[in-house]
Amino acid sequence: MKSIGVFDSGAGGLTVVRELIRQLPSENIVYFGDTARVPYGIKSKETVIRFSIENILFLLGHDVKLICVACNTVSSVALPVIKTHFRVPIVGVISPGVREAVYATRNKRIGVIGTKGTIRSRAYEIEIKKLDPDVKVITQACPLFVPLVEEGWLAGNVVSDVVRSYLKPLKVARVDTLILGCTHYPLLKSIIKDVLGKSVTLIDSAKQVAIEVKETLAQEGMLNKGGRGRQLFYVSDNPEWFAGQAERFLGQKIRNIRKVENV
């Protein structure tokens, strides 16, 4: 059976894998984390495009039927270009979350949080305005969120203070919908909810991406029917570090991690 290919610059895309396993338990998944070249957010657009093409070629070598780009930087700056290079369906992380946010907002005030690179690209803002020009978009870079998640700091006073500081402009702007514009951020969902209040709808990009992948496979007649899928994990460096992150992101230990020497 063919697999779903997923790639990210590191471990954050595992939140997407978790949702794919939950929503599509019969599908095989091949994941590639480019841990040797992370982070992508500080690289030039040309470099991100080149890395993305190399990652897709690697996944195509594993007979994948769809590529899921589980990286906000790639989705922000490279997706339109890489889509022209390949026939295989490619799903990014921005459009699915944007559609859900525009549908969910009641007061037309949507917040977007992400890495500096994602926020600087204005990709979410542009996509939101395409769907509804009347929506006010308030963006906020949260550069400390990724290291907090990767260190396993998901609760406590320090984390609460950082989250509260970053989200203060969004509270002041009275957003009623917030897009978690980085695949690490769902792990902070609980504390973000506490800070913003229950009336604010959180849009988990990982969840929306998995829904889009399912719909795309169904439209193409490529859904697996029955059986339990398996997952293979590849990294370009440091499989030991990745294994620790995978346990945190997936909520379970994984052993089948393989290091790739040349992507």
Q: What is the pLDDT of residues 44-83, one digit of tens each?
A: 889 999 999 999 999 999 999 999 999 988 998 899 999 9
- Please report, to the nearest 10 degrees, the dihedral formed by the alpha carbons of residues 9, 189, 209, 263 taken in order: 10
For residues 133 and 112, give the distance between their C-alpha atoms in angstroms, rounded to a whole number.
16
Pairing mode, if any, of strands 64-69 and 109-114?
Answer: unpaired
Q: Which of 70, 71, 123, 180 is catalytic?
A: 71
Under the banding of pLDDT at 50, 70 and 90, the label for residue 85 is very high
The answer on 229 and 104 residing in a single domain is no
Phi, psi of 190 (to 5 degrees): -60, -45
Q: Which of 28-32, 38-42, 242-246 has the lowest mean pLDDT?
A: 38-42
Check residues 263 and 31 and name the one with the higher pLDDT: 31
Choice between 236 and 254, residue whose per-residue pLDDT is larger: 236
pLDDT of residue 117: 82
Could you tell me the CATH number of the domain that includes residue 49? 3.40.50.1860
| Domain tally, the chain | 2
Structural domain boundaries enclosing 23:
3-93+207-259
- Flag whether pLDDT at 248 surpasses 80: yes
**Gap between the Cα atoms of 196 and 174, Å rounded:** 9
Catalytic residue among 182, 196, 200, 213: 182
Distance from C-alpha of 196 to C-alpha of 246, rounded to nearest angstrom: 28
Domain boundary (163, 188, 205) is at 205
Q: Torsions phi, psi of 224, nearest 5? A: -75, 140
In this structure, what token pair is assigned to residue 230?
């398996």
Let me know whether 115 and 79 are in one domain: no
pLDDT in tens, 130-160: 999 999 999 999 999 988 998 889 999 999 9
Phi-psi region of 195 (alpha: psi -120 to 50; beta: other; left: phi over 0): alpha
Same domain, 43 and 86: yes
Our answer to whether residue 142 is catalytic in this structure is no
The reply to whether 147 and 221 lie within a common domain is no
Length of the chain: 263
- Say if pTM beats, i.e. exceeds, 0.85: yes
Identify whether 182 is a catalytic site residue: yes
Whether 141 and 85 map to the same domain: the answer is: no
